[in-house]
Amino acid sequence: MREEHHHRHDHSPAGHMHAVGDKLKWAVILTFLVLLAEVAGGLWANSLALLSDAGHMLTDVASLVVAWAAVRLSARPPSNSLTYGYHRITILAALFNALALVAIAFFIGGEAYRRILNPEPVQGNILLIIATIGLVVNLYVGLGMRGHSENVNIKSAMLHVMGDAAASAGVILAGVVMYFTDWYILDPILSILIALLVAAGAWRIIKESYIVLMEGTPPGIKFDEVENAIRSIAGVKDVHDLHIWSLTSNRNAMSGHLVVSGDLSVNETQRILNEIENISTDRFNIGHTTFQFENDDHDHGQDMFGIDRNWTS
């Protein structure tokens, strides 16, 4: 029985990738300048909170550099050795950033605990000025990337930046209160809340990265619904060895075997492929499909990648 393959490429326009790369490049420059300002301001004001926020900002710079490099690399075309191109590198970058977020959350929590036990006075006026600059820059950078947050790599970098914006807002609020009341314990209390927010965002990114790296069915796509939709197409007797996965965020693919009558014409098999393409794209956001045609007599043997319906985990 002959095999027919259908491929649908859903590459983003080069102009879009270039625009994202430019935004990330400027984000790296701006956040690095704020990092320098926070280090100088923290030493000047003897503010451990501001120096800690500078450490947080350092991870922002690192995450943005990784995100920018990932966007540049993922735009490279496929090759004989990397037939899907470099798209998966964005997931590796996202996972790196998420793990860094977890480390940040533990660091903030540890520092907060220490400050609860031993509150330290700071020069509130200097703290307010530097923290306000950090808040403005982080909001500008984070909101500027909001339109590209469908990409898990960009999303993780954005969470870094917005998490630091929240930290800067907390430092500003704490600075105002401490300036007028000397209630220094407010700083570690806010830091704990920020650590929890950072950890929650990191966990979401880790789960999404795990699904992609494990070739899992993408979130939002129900495997049984896709399978039943393909079976409902006229001329399709059965579908097996069906696999749905993501190359990277929002770039989904599917492959499988179709059991059809052996006397179908080329036009009929092409109609089936066209219907699968339309269903995949319009209903399930799957932009790349590859299928093999078989008849009832085809012996596909024991497929090591086939789904065992009797297995329970």
pLDDT tens, 214-223? 988 998 899 9
pLDDT at residue number 197: 75
pLDDT at residue number 96: 83
* Per-residue pLDDT at 2 exceeds 80: no
pLDDT at residue number 17: 56
pLDDT tens, 250-298? 789 999 999 988 777 888 889 999 999 999 999 998 989 999 988 877 6
Confidence tier at 91 by pLDDT (50, 70, 90):
confident
* Per-residue pLDDT at 238 exceeds 70: yes
Domains of the chain: 14-213 (1.20.1510.10), 223-294 (3.30.70.1350)
* Per-residue pLDDT at 165 exceeds 70: yes
* Per-residue pLDDT at 25 exceeds 90: no
pLDDT at residue number 229: 94
> Which region among 17-21, 67-71, 217-221 has the lowest average model confidence (pLDDT)?
17-21
If you average pLDDT over residues 126-137, what whole number do you get?
A: 86
pLDDT at residue number 310: 53
If you average pLDDT over residues 42-71, what whole number do you get?
A: 75
Distant-in-sequence contacts of 303-307, Cβ < 8 A, 24+ apart: 303/240, 303/241, 305/241, 305/243, 306/240, 306/241, 307/242
Report the DSSP pairing between strands 286-294 and 251-260: parallel
